[in-house]
Amino acid sequence: VESVFNICEVLLHDSDACANETECDSIQQTSRSLDRRWRNICAMSMERRMKIEETWRLWQRFLDDYSRFEDWLNSSERTAAKPNSSEVLYTHAKEELKKFEAFQR
């Protein structure tokens, strides 16, 4: 883009390329339009980059949360599969019941 701006500058100072005021105005308007559009592209590009980076951070947080949940779920499944409730005293059974009730919440 910078090279195009340089060419526009050269053309503005070239009497053959810019023979009259209309041609010079046209080159200047085109150059300003190009500059405005390029700045707009740069701004949109920065916004999209920020959105992509935020999406990446959210994705990483999701993966971390998922990993913790999966660990908790595996632990809960192991605990539920081995209730240790045969030939147990009432107080121990009551403690086991409290553990399973906690899992249900």
> pLDDT tens for residues 68-95?
999 999 998 888 888 666 677 878 878 8
Domain ranges of the chain: 2-104
Give residue 73's pLDDT. Answer: 94
Q: Is pLDDT above 80 for 103? A: no
Return the CA Rg of the chain: 35
Taking CA atoms, 29 is separated from 34, 62, 99, in Å, by 8, 49, 76
